[in-house]
Amino acid sequence: MINPNMNDQAYDLQKLNVYIPAVAFVLSLLSYALHRVKQTPNPMTVKETLCNYIDFVVWRLVFFAGGAAILFWLLSWANNVVPWSIPVNWMSFIALLVLVDFAYYWKHRKEHEWSVLWCQHHVHHSSQEYNLSTSLRLPWLGSYFTPPFFLPLAFLGFDALMIISTYQILLAYQYLVHTEMVGKLGPLENILNTPSRHRVHHGRNEKYLDKNYGGILIVWDKIFGTLAEETTPVEYGTVKLIKTVNPIKVNVLPWIDLWGHLKRRKGITAKAKALFLSPSEIEQ
């Protein structure tokens, strides 16, 4: 039986949609102001920043609500399926934050390894600029691919609303690491996903490709062999560059490329397998 308070909780979550675009606009202005005060190695243009902001507003107002509602419904359904639950307290909250970060690592990694997920994640990597506004460059369909990675946490007994809340904390942290204004942070580089670690992740340099997937923690990359140090200047963007500041094209072109590849493959099985090929194989 579905929790009768689920609809009210979902409504409270969706009310954030009214305020977050306004916050995003302020953050975009802050990002540009900081760049003007302290010039960074990478440029920050008005057109690219505007593209990031428009992309974010459309994502939040048009696409996000549906994906978030589906995620919340599935998590709540799982809560009601299992006969146990984990109490909501500060200890379970910390434990869940670590587990959400672990789930995010694998979500993020598969977004780089499976072409069907890369098509939406490609949006976030497509900019050749790197600053606070880059974190707002989010894929319009991204929230619809999230549930499979976080649903197991609900089956473990963690509360649906707490899962979503910790995930939002992780995403908020991600905003802070999209900057060239902060250098390396000493011992913290061994524990956290820092600006330096995430700059590497956005690099199109061959030695930086598919590295540093961590959300808040970088330890998962150390454990699973995907860690890379920032040793040379980072060239930002995707291997196959999309040279446009049109947010519609930014979101649509990767899917067009995938569709073209699928049409060239014969048979349903071959087409299905192609969805899980690496992006480099699709782009050949």
104 with 27: CB under 8 angstroms? no
Q: What pLDDT does 162 receive? A: 94
Q: What is the number of domains present in the chain? A: 1
User: What mean pLDDT comes out for the span 163-187?
Assistant: 91
Integer Cα distance of 170 and 149 in angstroms: 14
Residue numbers of the domain that contains 250: 6-282
Say if residue 38's pLDDT is above 80: no
Q: Would residue 167 count as lying in a domain?
A: yes
As a whole number, the mean pLDDT across the chain is 88
Integer Cα distance of 146 and 160 in angstroms: 14
Please enumerate, as own/partner, the contacts of 186-195 that have beta carbons within 8 Å and a separation of 24 or more: 189/218, 190/218, 190/219, 190/222, 191/217, 191/218, 191/219, 192/216, 192/217, 192/218, 193/217, 193/218, 194/218
Q: Would residue 1 count as lying in a domain?
A: no
Q: Would residue 26 count as lying in a domain?
A: yes
Q: What pLDDT does 218 receive? A: 97
User: What mean pLDDT comes out for the span 119-123?
Assistant: 95
∠ CA 277-280-284, nearest 5°, is 105
Q: Would residue 22 count as lying in a domain?
A: yes
In tens, the pLDDT along 128-139 reads: 999 988 999 999
Q: Which has the higher per-residue pLDDT, 242 or 31?
A: 242
Q: Would residue 215 count as lying in a domain?
A: yes
pTM of the model: 0.89
Say if residue 182's pLDDT is above 50: yes
Q: Would residue 248 count as lying in a domain?
A: yes
Say if residue 5's pLDDT is above 90: no
Q: Would residue 132 count as lying in a domain?
A: yes
Closest by Cα among 168, 136, 127, 142 to 21: 136
- Name the pLDDT band for 148 (thresholds 50, 70, 90): very high
Name residues whose C-beta falls within 8 Å of residue 110's C-beta, 6 or more positions apart in sequence: 117, 149
Q: What pLDDT does 10 receive? A: 47
In tens, the pLDDT along 235-264 reads: 999 998 888 999 999 999 999 999 988 888
- Name the pLDDT band for 211 (thresholds 50, 70, 90): very high
Name residues whose C-beta falls within 8 Å of residue 94's C-beta, 6 or more positions apart in sequence: none
Q: Would residue 63 count as lying in a domain?
A: yes
